[in-house]
Structure formats: C-alpha cells, structure tokens
Structure 1
C-alpha cells in the first residue's frame, strides 16, 4: 500500500537524522571533555546542545523503532496465542499507543505554543527558546501516531507480525 510505504520512508529518514544527531552528541561531548580537561577552557554550549540533540533524536527515532518492532513488549500472553490472537492484540496495543500520541501531541503543542507566545527561554547561558526543545513532543508523537496508523493498516491487511522473541538471545 503506497501510504504505508511513504510513512515507513518518513520514519526511516527521521531515524537516519536521529542517528546523525547521536553521532553529533558524541562529537560535542568529546570536544567538551578535551576543552575542559586538556585546555582548562570549558564551553558554555556543549552540554545544553547535546541534551537538545538527544531529546530530538530519541523522539524522532521512536517511529522507526516501532516500525522495526523494537519497542519494549511483554509477550507472556501473546506467545501463547495463535497468529489471529497475536494480530488482534497488536492492533489493540497500536490503537492505545495512537490514542496516547494524540493526547501527547495536543498537550505538547499547547505547551510549546505557550512558551513561544510568552518568550520562555532556558535557564542557561545560551538562553535558548524553550519551544525549540518542547516542540519535539508534538513532532515526535505525530510521527509515532502516523507510524501506528501504518502498522495498524499493515496488520489489518495481513502484514507480518512483530517477532515475539529475539533470536540473538537464544544463542
């Protein structure tokens, strides 16, 4: 289905950006450690910017993690069911996650919009606008919601279920 393919591509593209953000975090923190301990000249930006990148990377990658079945799941019950029961429980879980995403997007948007309206900034030397980091909630939860829809459609159309175990753990 073309809609599912587009949503999967969006999730994977955002996950690629998230991976680069994690790499950038590593570079920033290595630079900070070298500046602080080798040259006795700490930065004012590395810690806050690495935290900012981490939040965006985590929320940005959530949709791709879901797509690849990497979210934490308790499979005690589902392992005992047949494929139809597993499919039904996966769809139910996806609907619950989708509802949570809608609620989080709504309230996250309100918080970010409020910060933008009143000009709230971080309590650091960088004094960054708070809405930059708060906006990650509506953006990330919207992406996760869209991936939930793609996964629900896939399950309803007979697509593959997530694996119920990790083969690497059995070795």
Structure 2
C-alpha cells in the first residue's frame, strides 16, 4: 500500500474515534438538557452552545472521511457516460479543484482563528478560537484525504 494512503488512513483512525466521541458526547449533552429542562425545570444554558460547536467539528471530521472513501453525494450523469480512464481523469480534476478550495479554506480559517481569539463564547466563556479552529483543522483533514483519494484514483490498485 502506498505510504501516503497508509499515513492518511492512520490519521483517519484517530479522526473516526474523534467523530465517534463527538457524536456520543453531543447525544449525552442533549439528553441531559431535555431531562434537566423537563424534569427539574432547570435548563442547562451551556448545552446548546457546546452541542453546536461539537456538531461543527463532527461535520468536518465526517466530510474528511467521506472525501477519502468517495462517499460524498454526487451527480454521476457525466462520469457514467465516460470510459474508465475518463472517469479517473474527471475524478482527479474534481479532487484537485477541491484541494484548491480546501487550501483557501485553510488559510482563511487560520486568519479567522487569529482574529476571534480575544472573543469569548456567550454561555461557555471559552475563546472563540476553539470553535473556529474547526475550519482550518477540517480543511487540513480534507486536503490530506483528497490527496489520498487522488493517489488511490491514479494507482487504481490500492484498496480503499
């Protein structure tokens, strides 16, 4: 197996665990919120904000994994009309365009993190750089997974 793909798949094991933990924690917090609000009539003011921030991280983690394993939704009309070589070329072109977009997202996200570092979130009173850090982190994960997907598409013999 290609070393790039192997390295990205190693990182993706950690991303899968982080995604799983994020979704479990979100579920627990929302159940606690519902229970606290309707049983004790004491809403947890921080629960919605924390769940929102965790959800943003979960979206980026899931999107990175979806890019790697070719699980994003797509309109397959044009690729279905092409021969296998044309499909491969079209896929690689699409991934290269995606990497350019993810690179812009990474740079702009990093700039945004530095600008919001002095702001505090309303309920949790944490630095807003923590939730906004999901943007450059997610963009980085998307880039490395797109590179792995290109490697797999070009080689064609690497198992996904």
Normalising by structure 2, report the TM-score: 0.93
Deviation at 1:158, TM superposition (A): 2.4
Q: Are the counterparts in 1 of residues 5 and 152 from structure 2 also a CA contact under 8 Å?
A: yes
Deviation at 1:156, TM superposition (A): 1.7
**2:48 — aligned with what?**
47
Distance in 2 separating the partners of 1:159 and 1:87: 13
**1:90 — aligned with what?**
91
**2:110 — aligned with what?**
109
**2:120 — aligned with what?**
121
Distance in 2 separating the partners of 1:25 and 1:109: 25
Deviation at 1:43, TM superposition (A): 0.9
Of 142, 145, 148 in structure 2, the residue corresponding to residue 147 of structure 1 is: 145
**2:80 — aligned with what?**
79
Deviation at 1:125, TM superposition (A): 2.8
For this pair of structures, how many residues does the alignment match? Answer: 159
Distance in 2 separating the partners of 1:24 and 1:126: 16
Structure 1 segments unaligned to the other structure (5+ residues): 163-171
Alignment RMSD (CA, Å): 1.6
**1:38 — aligned with what?**
39
SS at match of 1:41: coil
Q: Are the counterparts in 2 of residues 18 and 57 from structure 1 also a CA contact under 8 Å?
A: yes
Relative to structure 1, the CA distance from residue 161 to residue 81 in structure 2 (aligned partners, 3 Å threshold; closer, same or farther) is farther
